[in-house]
Chain A
């Protein structure tokens, strides 16, 4: 045990450490803070996430492998860590004003932070055991965050549903893991990859993959495992929903890339057809079920279900281009969905409800909010010159590159994006065409303005000048595939 500890180079955990240190400071400050003084927990969390992000981007942690590969640092892990920290920083920044009046903001910020640490560990997991432990860290802290608004019934309901469905998916996932272990004789991803090789694979491993797919399906809210998403999106505290909708979904795709493309490429005959079906079902259900919604959060929930279907196309392709398309899209999706949820956060807080009708005349009441929300919706629909278009084009391209057999998937995806455009336009219609129902401007606040401008910049830059991000994602995806 002693030797085991000595061999560890703890600097590998520098970025997680920065965030953890911030969380510790936050706890301590909240303990000694005199009653009545506002909690600075939001600022501390923001500082921690920005510092960790800057450290990770400017001085990247070099490649490393700990404990026989149970924890690794590679380009993929670094990319996703930066993504999670960016999501955390933007969500925190945008929700200062929302959180001001909440008694539970300290706990909430802590839970978001812990969940982010969990995600950062998750993308570095190189072993089924460490993967599972960090996945639980992510999930449990998000369950708590979803149900923290103790005075609101919807939040309680959201938290409970999230917990129950999440526990079920976890059970499936770990059940699948045990099958894979039984079939391959190891929990290490490298050993599993070697055991599977290129052949048909052990029947137990095949069964394990199918079960794990179901578990992952819950994580990314893919059909038919999507039922929880609309309820949780509707009831949970908005900052948590905003964060989870981008970061938690990205984490789910990170596991998919590691497990399916990186480890179980030999079993692609099993998971590619399943994922194809899942992708089409997810895009279809997400697009059509959003149409009758009158609640903006439920609409965005179904929209994000549909988005997951598009991202699955890249996983189905399974090529370096496909993986890099997934990475690119997830970053674009971060800016896009955060812009949408920040707008929802502010408008809902002001209007007191989440009805789409409350957005009537938003263009006149707050031009910035309306613009940010419209750009976000258009980017989700895949309209140039926004990042969502380049992302979708890249995803479609990756599928068509593999073989013309995937052409139908692209045709379905492209057609359904017009269906989704319909309900996005319905929201834009409320904001720009309808007259305001109530007079008066909607104040945005400086912090949320900065967050919104960051998101707009992110959407526009990835749409007009995607070169840097594209090259980065290609460099990240290259080594993952085909070894």
Chain B
């Protein structure tokens, strides 16, 4: 077995070295593929590890996810916003010409922001899972595999590739929640997987329709070609709901959101972080990238109606979060509420709304990652998530309490933190779109403030529950994880301009295609 193990690891490393060496030698960097390949290579190496080296797993995972995060930051810095913006870092290779499939990657401002989000979350997620002991190799391998899928979706410019990566990103969730979850984990895992794959079945039908209706010969899954195609209005109105709802399920669109609270509450910490933080954004990203951009007439016809549903998302999510007794369910329902803000922003089809939606995708991703990490760390100490059992934890764990406060304030949209920037822009867009909806949605924020402050007060302030008299505060790894996340919230809250202009360079392209604006 040792021989097989070392051979596989050697092969992976050699392939990686060869791949990077080739790029260095020919001076043609494949940035996007590189970022995508790193987690995958790490996952393969971890799978090939022998049992006696299992304790090295988390270090290997960190060693592969850290460069991935740094490369994402590099991408965001290297992305040229001035000029046209548009798609950059493009890679293209023929794959299956018989079906019109190509390996085609590129990111615009929106994709770059999502890369940055994913990079931060995966590294923080690896740190947050430092205490996983049970079947640790499989855990990290699946986590990294999933991350490669997420990167792939955000970069894919070919619908076949998009779908492939989407499934790679979604399916490992079943095992991750089923094996390492808590509570009714098998039920939650099955529900989540079936819901999301039902969404993907609708997507697939929509993709095939786009494929055949494009009318180009030879037929192609290439999204840039489809962007140039004017699909007939009847066709757009017929297939827009397929794509919107297919992606909407993953974005937590009411009333198809019920997988999300169960799934996120049952999942292990890092998986909740990744799922609520990044995977739900795949849904919103898909709505913008595929549904809205490729079928603009369908979008104009349908989105005003869907916007009403997002109001339910926002208010209902917040109200239900308020009545939860389990801390993790509070966070899970708050994601439903916050994702409603994202989809509302998209539904407005305005400049401010779309910018706000994407900014909220980023901001909520970081914020919910921070929350789930905090809940996980707290649970690891108290072994309970019932809010009524806590009390005064801040006295024993001031660091965790401080981070929780930062996250909570970002969540209720306090100016100076990134949540405010995002929500302000979305409501601005919503106001131009329909003032009534904007007022109701903004009122939903009041509920958010209510449940966030209630949780903060019940769990961390007040008199200390003597049961928890001897618990410890965050350790160094946990503090590193939380600092990275909180720093993003504060940085982009105080100084949102670089991120806003990055995102805007992508939104401009979407609006040029869709029309509208204002």
B174 at the interface (CB under 8 A from A): yes
A225 within 8 A of B: no
Mask of A384-425 contacts with B, CB within 8 angstroms, 1/0:
110001000110110011000001001100110110011001
Query: Which A residues are in CB contact (< 8 Å) with B190?
Result: 422, 425, 429
Q: How many angstroms between the C-alpha atoms of A383 and B200 in the bound complex?
A: 10
Check A474 for interface membership: any CB of B closer than 8 A.
yes
In the complex, the answer to whether A384 meets B163 with C-beta atoms within 8 Å is yes
A474 CA / B179 CA spacing, docked (Å): 43
A401 touches B201 (CB 8 A): no
Shortest CB–CB separation between residue A381 and chain B, in angstroms?
A: 8
A410 to B208, CA, bound (A): 10
A470 touches B204 (CB 8 A): no
B206 vs chain A, min Cβ distance (A): 10
B212 touches A400 (CB 8 A): yes
Given A378-B171, A385-B168, A422-B190, are A414 and B204 neighbors across the interface (CB < 8 Å)?
A: yes
B186 x A433 contact (CB < 8 A): yes
Task: Let me know if B54 is at the binding interface, CB within 8 A.
Answer: no
B96 within 8 A of A: yes
B186 touches A429 (CB 8 A): yes
* A433-B175 contact in complex given A397-B208, A418-B194, A418-B201, C-beta closer than 8 Å: yes
A432 to B190, CA, bound (A): 14
- Looking at A383, A411, A425, A471, the one whose CB has the most chain B CB atoms below 10 A away is A425
Contact yes or no, B194 A421, CB < 8 A: yes
| Chain B, interface residues (CB within 8 Å), range | 20 to 34
Cβ–Cβ < 8 Å partners of B244 in chain A? none
Q: Which residue of B lies closest to A384 (CB)?
A: B164
Beta-carbon contacts of B80-105 to A below 8 Å, as 1s and 0s? Answer: 00000000000000011111000000
In the complex, A17 has a CB within 8 A of chain B? no
A421 to B205, Cβ gap below 8 A?
no
Q: Is B99 a contact partner of A470 (Cβ separation < 8 A)?
A: yes
Q: Is B178 engaged at the interface, CB distance under 8 Å to the other chain?
A: yes
CB A468 to nearest CB in B, in angstroms, measures 10
Which of B97, B197, B202, B211 lies at the interface centre, i.e. has the most chain A CB atoms within 10 A of its CB?
Answer: B197
B193 touches A417 (CB 8 A): no
The digit string for A460-483, where 1 denotes a CB below 8 A from any CB of B, is 000001110011001000000000
Given A417-B201, A425-B193, A433-B178, check contact A474 B167 (CB 8 Å).
no
Does the CB pair A414–B205 fall under 8 Å?
yes
CB-based nearest A residue for B179 = A433
Interface string of B121-150 (1 = CB under 8 A from A): 000000000000000001000000000000
Question: For the complex, is A428 an interface residue (Cβ under 8 Å from B)?
Answer: yes
List chain A residues, Cβ under 8 A from B197.
418, 421
Q: When each residue 188-220 of chain B gets 1 if its CB lies under 8 Å from chain A and 0 otherwise, what string results?
A: 001001100110011011001101100000000
- Neighbouring B residues of A470 by C-beta, 8 Å: 96, 98-99
| A467 cross-chain contacts in B, Cβ below 8 A | 95-98
A425 B174 Cβ-Cβ under 8 A? yes
Cβ B179 vs Cβ A466 within 8 A: no
Q: Shortest CB–CB separation between residue B321 and chain A, in angstroms?
A: 29
Q: How far is the CA of A422 from the CA of B160 in the complex (A)?
A: 23
**How far is B99's CA from A385's CA once the two chains are assembled, in angstroms?**
15
Flag if B98 contacts A429 (CB, 8 Å). Answer: no
Within 8 A of B (CB), among A422-460: 422, 425, 428-429, 432-433
Which residues 267-311 of B sit at the A interface, judged by CB distance below 8 A? none
Residues of A within 8 A of B163 (CB): 384
CA of A385 to CA of B174, assembled, Å: 17
Q: A418-B197, A425-B174, A425-B190 are in contact. Are A474 and B205 (CB under 8 A)?
A: no
Contact of B174 among A384, A394, A407, A428 (CB under 8 A): A428
**Residue from A429, A465, A471 whose CB has the most chain B CB atoms within 10 Å:** A429
> Which chain A residues lie closer than 8 Å to B174 at the CB level?
425, 428
Chain A residues within an 8 Å CB radius of B171: 378, 383
CA distance A389 to B160 in the complex (A): 11
Segment 501-518 of B: residues with Cβ below 8 Å from A: none
Distance in angstroms from B304 CB to nearest chain A CB is: 25
* Those of A251-268 within 8 Å (CB) of chain B: none
B242 nearest in chain A by CB position: A411
| A394 in contact with B99 (CB, 8 Å) | yes
How many Å from the CB of A461 to the closest CB on chain B? 12
Contact between B167 and A421 (Cβ–Cβ < 8 Å)? no
Asked if B194 and A397 make an inter-chain contact with CB atoms under 8 angstroms apart, the answer reads no
B168–A466 contact, CB under 8 A?
A: no
A389 to B205 CA separation, bound complex (whole angstroms)? 13
> How far, in whole Å, are A465 and B2 apart by their CA atoms in the complex?
30
Q: How far is the CB of A391 from chain B (nearest CB, A)?
A: 12
Q: A415-B201, A429-B186, A467-B96 are in contact. Are A396 and B193 (CB under 8 A)?
A: no
Q: How far is the CA of A415 from the CA of B200 in the complex (A)?
A: 9
Note all chain A residues with C-beta closer than 8 A to B164.
Answer: 384-385, 389
Inter-subunit contact A432/B201 (CB<8 Å) = no
Q: How far is B160's CA from A470's CA once the two chains are assembled, in angstroms?
A: 16
- CB < 8 Å: which of A383, A422, A432, A465 contacts B179? A432
Instruction: Report 6 cross-chain contacts, Cβ distance below 8 Å, ordered by A residue.
Output: A389-B167, A400-B208, A425-B174, A429-B178, A465-B96, A467-B96
Q: A411-B205, A474-B98 are in contact. List 19 more A-B contacts (CB 8 A).
A: A383-B171, A384-B163, A384-B168, A393-B208, A394-B99, A397-B99, A397-B208, A407-B205, A407-B209, A414-B205, A417-B201, A418-B198, A425-B190, A428-B174, A433-B175, A433-B178, A466-B99, A467-B98, A471-B98
B residues with CB within 8 A of A: 95-99, 138, 160, 163-164, 167-168, 171, 174-175, 178-179, 186, 190, 193-194, 197-198, 201-202, 204-205, 208-209, 211-212
Which 5 pairs between the two chains have the least Cβ-Cβ distance?
A414-B201, A384-B164, A433-B178, A470-B98, A418-B198
